Structure 1
Amino acid sequence: MSFTKTTEQSSYYDSLEHMSVHDLLTHINNEDKTVPLAVEKALPQIEVLVSKVVEKMKHGGRLFYIGAGTSGRLGIVDASECPPTFGVPFDLVNGIIAGGDKAIRRAVENAEDDQQQAWIDLQEHGITENDVVIGIAASGTTPYVIGGLEKCNANNITTGCITCNEGSPLALTAKFPVVVVVGPEFVTGSSRMKAGTAQKLVLNMISTATMIQLGRVKGNKMVDMQLSNDKLVDRGVRMIMGEIPVSYEEASALLAKHGSVRKAVDSYSR
């Protein structure tokens, strides 16, 4: 099967080493400006995928991201930020990277080429038909990710993907593909740049929209956030003051007693 791997095509710019810092930054920025427009074209695909994730989670399912290299790291970042932001259990959204946790900081040789390992990694989490697995790969050709989704499909587990190449093997494997075509990178083949930015934007959309649909945001506030530092405690106190007629000291006491903005406000309302 042949397809155009635009993420590997030659950069629109050449002789980069002869450019000034100003010109380098300007050209990188100009390329970055195109990414949100590429994501916009994929909104219908993202909507379908998010709706499926919400449906599954409402029936007790979980979300898994699988990827290698930059893509795997982006999935882990998104997953790790859901518990503190939305107060959900740590195993509701999970990021899995080829090569295991050590690959978060250092590349693990040939880890992404193992087509069987992703399914083994998913089984360690007790993956079931209630869950959704989203494969992330800019190229759309990573064996680790494709192999994982193929096994999920064979076991009736819902699959999605985020990739940047139209018609790629990954896009054709996922039941709910999201394809954001960002074109050639400023540095040829460096998909941590525009492709990585596109993946991050889509991940933000998936997790945030899902959590809002699950009732984890009230108005526009993170009322279930974990109060893990002084800044967040202060933010929580001010959220409470914005919802009910109490002083800063009274709001602080309510927050300390109930442990969350939502519970503090609900207790006062009752």
Structure 2
Amino acid sequence: MQHWEHSSYEPSLPITEKSNPITRDIDRANPDEIVQMLKNCDAEIFDRTAYLDSMYQKLNSCSMVQTMVEISKKVEIILKDPENSLIVLSGCGTSGRVAFLLATSLNRWLVALHQKQIYSYIIAGGDKALLTSQEAPEDNPSLGALMLDKASTGKKHVLFIGISCGLSAPFVAGQLHFCLNNLDVFTPVLVGFNPVHMARSEPMQDFPFNFKEIAEKMSEMQKHQKAFVLNPAVGPEVITGSSRMKGGTATKLMLETVLLAGHEAVYSNEAVTADNVLASVRMNEKVYETTYSQIDKLAALLQKAGVSLQEKGHVYYLGWQTLGIIGIIDASECIPTYGAAFEDIRGFISKGFSEMNNKEGDLSCVGPRFAIAHTDFVNAILPSLTDKDMVIFLFSVEDDLNEVSELAKRVGQNSSNLHALIHDLEGHCVPKSVIGMFMTALNITWPSSLNKHSSILMKQHWELSTKWCLNAISTGAHILKGKVYRNYMIDLRVTNSKLFRRAIHILQRFTNSTQTQCETALLRSIYDVEELTDEISSADVTQHTLMANQKDRVVPTALVMLQSGCTLAEAKFHLDAHPVIRNAVAAHLRFS
């Protein structure tokens, strides 16, 4: 049994908010050790070990596999009536981005088969949230329900898949509640990674139910196949609470398994069975093994990215097709996770928004954060590129290699810090002349056995592998920069109620202070005051998070104040002198 599975391990926290014992000292690890820790954590997704005294169901457990089979059969029914039916995937943050990627990819596949598109996605905050953090809508259950109602207008049958890794997002809760009140049209599916009894039980703003009550009702209705809860335990995250990592990965591979099984049933006459579902899960496990067989090169890329950030340089992902989307998603998530500047790590895709297929179309006029085409990189970034900046190309053997080579030549004229993540096929590889253009080429050659079913399956495997690699690179780089304290993303931006609560928990954990003391220190840091006014103390969490979104280092500053009893000004002084958070804390303890 994994250490986190014991009932005595951090008992007050759900799995998705627990710290992972594997990574408790990841902030002191070298690049090779970091990648090994990531590998060990991701292995927990596929854990097949069952213990009689464990309260958790794993992805490979009979109950979870059977739930996936039942949902796949609902997908099959929807696909057989495309005129009147719809499959909607929805979520906030990472979950919404995964929903977008799956919906648009599967719609493209249906078009290639000359079939009607039946997938739609919803992300809290709209398409801007694909690239930037839009936290406020995540706390609004009524908005979620309204957006689902609008997306489903005129449809007789809707399979709704609401993704909330922690079973906590009010936006998704509102949508699930709407479905439960309209079961003549909707079949709701809740996807997450906590048991139902660990779902969020706090009241939601202007809403009669909490998330736990909704999840419990769905769990009860699952007995009649009116609703489904798909919530395997995949273990705590590498960086505590960072569901962009394992949560996002498990969501992607699990939903692809479910949805493609339905497609196979309709278009290949392959019945949905438990054996087929398990075979798909195990194929994804092979993708995991193949990806992490490249530990040495992955660690080398991680180290170079860390050096770039430490030297105030940047990391740029230049990708093609959906690999470019994976790069954009990974880069966008570094801002709320690590308090990073948007310039630190950025992603670009070959043809920009015309290749994204997002609902709201070209958003490049909104601002520089939405300039995502390779031409935007060439025009705005390339002229000032130096060797401090790291550039990583993301492509496969099926992309336009002439285009890849031409862009690599142009980038190479300004910086030698040029690298690539390349996907090959057995017997069909990228020429050595192209590989030789890069300082480091993490070149993964995939066996033909993984591609025996369809091209979309192969592309999904490339996406999954690329996600694992980029998550490792960006996470490791921020660890080396000092953005992580033990295995906590302590420099997170406190931009919604979930993150406000998480920040207080982090402060309690590392200072042994009371909840009231931690909240007071956090508010002093957010509002930049030595003493709280009555107006600040009486404001609600929404007001606090709106203010916090404009500030940097609010949690580290509060931590230093609590650990040493110093003033706000003194805490800021030590953090300015010691950007690595653990060093700043140690320095203040030495001088206090």
TM normalised by structure 1 equals: 0.75
Structure 1 residue 33, shift from structure 2 partner: 1.3
What is the CA–CA distance in structure 2 between the aligned matches of 1:118 and 1:89, rounded to whole Å? 29
SS of the residue 2:33 aligns to: helix
Say if 2:124 is the partner of 1:98. Answer: yes
Q: Contact 1:86–1:216 (CA<8 Å) still a contact in 2?
A: no
Structure 1 residue 74, shift from structure 2 partner: 0.4
Q: Which residue identity lines up with residue 36 of structure 2 in the other structure?
A: T
What is the CA–CA distance in structure 2 between the aligned matches of 1:208 and 1:3, rounded to whole Å? 37
- Equivalent position of 1:9 in the other structure: 18
Q: Contact 1:53–1:210 (CA<8 Å) still a contact in 2?
A: yes
Give the alignment of 1:10-29 within 5 angstroms: 10-12=19-21, 13-29=23-39
What is the CA–CA distance in structure 2 between the aligned matches of 1:194 and 1:212, rounded to whole Å? 27
Say if 2:59 is the partner of 1:39. Answer: yes
* Pick aligned residue for 2:75 from 53, 63, 68: 53
* Pick aligned residue for 1:79 from 99, 103, 107: 103
Bigger Cα displacement from structure 2, 17-26 vs 50-59: 50-59
Say if 2:145 is the partner of 1:119. Answer: yes
* Pick aligned residue for 1:151 from 174, 178, 198: 178
What is the CA–CA distance in structure 2 between the aligned matches of 1:183 and 1:58, rounded to whole Å? 36
Would you identify which runs of 4 or more consecutive aligned residues in structure 1 move more than 4 Å?
88-91, 216-219
Bigger Cα displacement from structure 2, 106-115 vs 125-134: 125-134
Say if 2:236 is the partner of 1:179. Answer: no
Question: Unpaired segments of 5 or more residues in structure 2?
Answer: 1-10, 48-57, 197-211, 219-226, 271-451, 457-592
What is the CA–CA distance in structure 2 between the aligned matches of 1:121 and 1:10, rounded to whole Å? 34
What is the CA–CA distance in structure 2 between the aligned matches of 1:94 and 1:28, rounded to whole Å? 32
What is the CA–CA distance in structure 2 between the aligned matches of 1:173 and 1:81, rounded to whole Å? 32
Q: Contact 1:65–1:76 (CA<8 Å) still a contact in 2?
A: yes
* Pick aligned residue for 1:132 from 147, 150, 159: 159
* Pick aligned residue for 2:255 from 203, 220, 241: 203
Q: Contact 2:91–2:164 (CA<8 Å) still a contact in 1?
A: yes
Give the alignment of 1:155-166 within 5 angstroms: 155-156=182-183, 157-166=186-195
Q: Contact 2:140–2:171 (CA<8 Å) still a contact in 1?
A: yes
Bigger Cα displacement from structure 2, 181-190 vs 89-98: 89-98
Larger-Rg structure: 2
Structure 1 residue 119, shift from structure 2 partner: 1.8
What is the CA–CA distance in structure 1 between the aligned matches of 2:24 and 2:454, rounded to whole Å? 46
What is the CA–CA distance in structure 2 between the aligned matches of 1:170 and 1:201, rounded to whole Å? 25
What is the CA–CA distance in structure 2 between the aligned matches of 1:169 and 1:77, rounded to whole Å? 30
Aligned residues: 222
SS of the residue 2:39 aligns to: helix
Q: Contact 1:4–1:165 (CA<8 Å) still a contact in 2?
A: no
What is the CA–CA distance in structure 1 between the aligned matches of 2:269 and 2:234, rounded to whole Å? 31
Say if 2:244 is the partner of 1:192. Answer: yes
What is the CA–CA distance in structure 2 between the aligned matches of 1:46 and 1:170, rounded to whole Å? 20
Q: Contact 1:54–1:214 (CA<8 Å) still a contact in 2?
A: yes
Instruction: Report the RMSD for the aligned CA atoms in angstroms.
Output: 2.4
Q: Deviations over 1:41-74 (max 9, x none)?
A: 2211111111122223323421001100001100
Q: Deviations over 1:128-176 (max 9, x none)?
A: 4411101001001100001101111101111012100011556435411
Q: Contact 1:72–1:96 (CA<8 Å) still a contact in 2?
A: yes
- Equivalent position of 1:228 in the other structure: none
What is the CA–CA distance in structure 2 between the aligned matches of 1:86 and 1:57, rounded to whole Å? 10
Bigger Cα displacement from structure 2, 58-67 vs 137-146: 58-67
SS of the residue 2:161 aligns to: strand
Q: Report the identity percentage.
A: 26
Q: Deviations over 1:203-256 (max 9, x none)?
A: 211221121122168993469xxxxxxxxxxxxxxxxxxxxxxxxxxxxxxxxx
SS of the residue 2:122 aligns to: strand
Q: Which residue identity lines up with residue 133 of structure 2 in the other structure?
A: A
- Equivalent position of 1:265 in the other structure: none
TM normalised by structure 2 equals: 0.35
* Distance change in 2, residues 1:202/1:93 (3 Å): same
Q: Which residue identity lines up with residue 50 of structure 1 in the other structure?
A: S
Comparing both chains, which one has the higher relative contact order based on Cα–Cα distances under 8 Å and sequence gaps of 6 or more?
1
Q: Deviations over 1:169-188 (max 9, x none)?
A: 56435411101211211111
* Distance change in 2, residues 1:216/1:84 (3 Å): farther
SS of the residue 1:192 aligns to: coil
